[in-house]
Chain A
Amino acid sequence: MFEPDEELIGRVVRQLRRPVTVDAGLDARVMEQIGRLPARRTGGPVRATWRWIIRPRTIRLSPLGALAIAAVFVAVVLWRPDRPSRPASARAFGFVVVAPRAATVSLVGDFNDWDAARTPMQRTRKDESVWTAVIPLTPGRYRYAFLVDGVAWLADPAAPAARDDEFGAPSSVVTVGGS
């Protein structure tokens, strides 16, 4: 059994009752330590996911893996279904039409998105009834027509006619070769 020692207890009590002097910088040090602790996780799975996304991390990658990722990246940047496999060089093509009483003539076709405002034709100096336009064309086959005074469609009499003309206004075709 243990017999309580009155004298010992008295010394402990006196020791505990002594005033304690606290260092003046303690508060500041404690708050600094608290500030270093990670914040409490609040905000649900969305914030948690966001924190996971933005948290910096080190990824180890083999040179082969890095090359594979770079190859995929380059392939996606370069690949387009409509893009020709090789960049084609453009050649200047001249279009001429005789329209004596026209005030304006536009060259409209597959090469300018059928936009009548994009390629206005110019009168020649020698003969004001002759209208011309020169545009660069890459190899391919293009449908086009002349739009006179913004209302009348005219096919090119010097070029093959487009056979599959479903819109009730004539078109012509020009084919640009590569060799």
Chain B
Amino acid sequence: MILLVAATLVALQAPAQGIDPRLERLDSITRPIVAALVDSARAAALPTEPLVQRALEGATKRAPADRIVAAVRRLALDLGHARDALGPTASPTELGAAAAALRAGAHPATLTELRRIRRESLTVPLAVLTDLVGSGVPVDSAAAAVLSLAAKTRDADLVEFRRAVERDIALGAPPASATAAAAAVTAEATAVQVNAGARQQRPGRP
């Protein structure tokens, strides 16, 4: 019976350990290198799905082998740095978003601080931070705004905050000013929502 249990456990683990069949779309030169990078990431308890997707993106876009391998390797390193900043409890989606934020120029200390102050998932705050930097907002301004909102603001409101900043930038506002103004509006709206929620929770009087 013990042998049967052991064999079953090995069989159950086997699909997770083998080469991902989706990597068959890579050419014969790229495939083993990417598979090795994926295996290394798995051994380091890092998420492998982002690496597979990045390789598939390269294959679909008909990128040369060396560029695909370089992109996957760089993403694996970024995921490792993201895990260092967020800690071992970070989810795969959080690590993916954190890797993008680090690549955009965010400081690891910003990620660690986000982890400390926000109880919910960090995926959206990190994505908003990355997108703001991509819109031309200085990384320090973007980080300060996201940190000021992250503790109490819902994901949907953070996304709306990002849209507001992008809209104001498109209308000609300086990126840093647009960010600060939108952050203030979002924080005020969040406070109103919180207070309204508190009123609703208050017990009624006879």
Q: Do A and B bind each other?
A: yes
Scoring B residues 148 to 175 as 1 if CB is less than 8 Å from chain A, else 0, what string do you get? Answer: 0000001110110010001000000000
Contact of B155 among A72, A81, A114, A177 (CB under 8 A): A177
Q: How far is the CA of A89 from the CA of B134 in the complex (A)?
A: 28
Contact of A139 among B47, B48, B70, B121 (CB under 8 A): B121
A178–B96 CB distance below 8 A:
no
Contact of B61 among A76, A115, A141, A153 (CB under 8 A): A153
Q: How far is the CA of A157 from the CA of B45 in the complex (A)?
A: 36
Q: How far is the CA of A110 from the CA of B96 in the complex (A)?
A: 12
Task: Mark the stretch among B27-35, B122-130, B191-199 that contacts chain A.
Answer: B122-130
Minimum CB distance partner of B154 in chain A: A179
With A76-B12, A163-B104 given, can you name 18 additional A-B contacts, CB distance below 8 Å?
Answer: A82-B92, A113-B22, A114-B57, A114-B59, A115-B56, A116-B60, A141-B127, A160-B130, A160-B135, A160-B166, A163-B100, A166-B74, A167-B68, A168-B67, A171-B57, A173-B127, A175-B123, A177-B158
Q: How far is the CA of A66 from the CA of B21 in the complex (A)?
A: 36
A167–B57 CB distance below 8 A:
yes
A108–B60 CB distance below 8 A:
yes
Contact of A53 among B3, B68, B93, B97 (CB under 8 A): B3
* Contacts from A to B (Cβ < 8 Å): 53, 59, 69, 72-73, 76-77, 80-85, 108, 110, 113-116, 139-141, 143, 153, 160-161, 163-164, 166-169, 171, 173, 175, 177-179
B103 within 8 A of A: yes
A residues near B124, Cβ cutoff 8 Å: 139, 175, 177-178
Q: How far is the CA of A85 from the CA of B92 in the complex (A)?
A: 9
In terms of DSSP, what is the predominant structure of the interface of chain A?
Answer: loop
Distance in angstroms from A37 CB to nearest chain B CB is 28
**Could you give 30 example pairs across A and B, Cβ below 8 Å?**
A59-B2, A76-B9, A76-B12, A77-B12, A80-B16, A81-B16, A81-B42, A81-B47, A82-B92, A84-B91, A113-B22, A113-B53, A114-B57, A139-B93, A139-B124, A140-B93, A140-B123, A163-B103, A164-B74, A166-B71, A168-B61, A169-B61, A171-B57, A173-B127, A173-B130, A175-B124, A177-B121, A177-B123, A178-B121, A178-B155
Q: How far is the CA of A160 from the CA of B45 in the complex (A)?
A: 29
Distance in angstroms from B55 CB to nearest chain A CB is 9
Q: How far is the CA of A17 from the CA of B126 in the complex (A)?
A: 108
B48–A82 CB distance below 8 A:
yes
Q: How far is the CA of A153 from the CA of B63 in the complex (A)?
A: 13
B97–A73 CB distance below 8 A:
no
B residues near A178, Cβ cutoff 8 Å: 120-121, 123-124, 155
B residues near A175, Cβ cutoff 8 Å: 97, 123-124, 127-128, 131, 159
B53–A110 CB distance below 8 A:
yes
| Contact A163 to B71, CB < 8 A, known contacts A81-B42, A175-B123, A177-B155 | no
**Which of B68, B91, B156 has the largest count of A CB atoms less than 10 A from its CB?**
B91
B63–A166 CB distance below 8 A:
yes
Q: How far is the CA of A171 from the CA of B134 in the complex (A)?
A: 13
A141–B5 CB distance below 8 A:
no
